[in-house]
Chain A
Amino acid sequence: MPVFSDSDSVMDSNDNNQPKTFKQWQNIRRARPSGVGGYYSTTSQKQMMEDMAKLGDRFYD
């Protein structure tokens, strides 16, 4: 059983392939706004745009 099973971190390998919703991304913003893999990093922002495109209207669910 993973120790951080309910974490929304983009660094988690568990669900990295699953697109995150807006709400999950905002949880990351509150938990870890900056730094490597943080919400405002280039990588995360790019990933969020990809998730947005993948999920479409479901992004805000």
Chain B
Amino acid sequence: MTDDQIEFEDQLNSARDLFQVADVNFQYEIEALRAELRSRGIFAEQARPTSFAYESIFAVMLMQISTGKGRVKLSRAMLSNPHRYNVPTAMPRDLMLCVKADLLLVDGGIYSPALRLLKLLREVRTAVNGEDAA
């Protein structure tokens, strides 16, 4: 672990906290990113009311990865048995889908933002923070 990495569990908990206190504008950004991710095939195909919090937290986590330390370490044990680490069971799958969609890069269990994610976030923020957004 180096200074530019953060443990996945810490990143996830930070995303959960931020989602809980999201203001109106941030909720807009979260919803837009969540919709964009879903349109790119991330998340389970069938959207369910019970999964929106998870999907929102996942979107927040991607925002944090793109602006924070930038590199998140996810151990192989967490990938195999996420429930033992308080990690949503769908998260390893969705992280891998993000890698396939060229939104995240992964190397040795360390996830970092791809340029496409940075571009997507910039576009989302521009779109929802325009005139009369909130």
| Cβ contact within 8 Å between A49 and B35 | yes
Binds A, one of B9-17, B44-52, B67-75: B44-52
Q: Which of A22, A40, A42, A49 contacts B128 (CB 8 A)?
A: A22
A-B contact count (CB 8 A): 35
Give complex CA distance A4, B28 in Å.
Answer: 25
B-contact bits for A30-53, CB 8 A (1 contact / 0 none) = 000010001011100110110011
In the complex, chain A residues whose CB is within 8 Å of the CB of B38: 45, 49
Please count how many residues in chain B sit with their CB below 8 Å of the partner chain's CB atoms.
16
B130–A42 CB distance below 8 A: no
Within 8 A of A (CB), among B19-65: 28, 31-32, 35, 38-39, 46-49, 52
What residues of chain A lie closer than 8 Å to B28, measured between beta carbons?
26
Q: Are B127's CB and A22's CB within 8 A?
A: yes
List, in ascending order, chain B residues with CB within 8 A of A52's CB. Answer: 35, 39
In chain B, what residue has the closest Cβ to A57? B127
Query: Which of A38, A45, A49, A60 is B127 in contact with, Cβ under 8 Å?
Result: A60
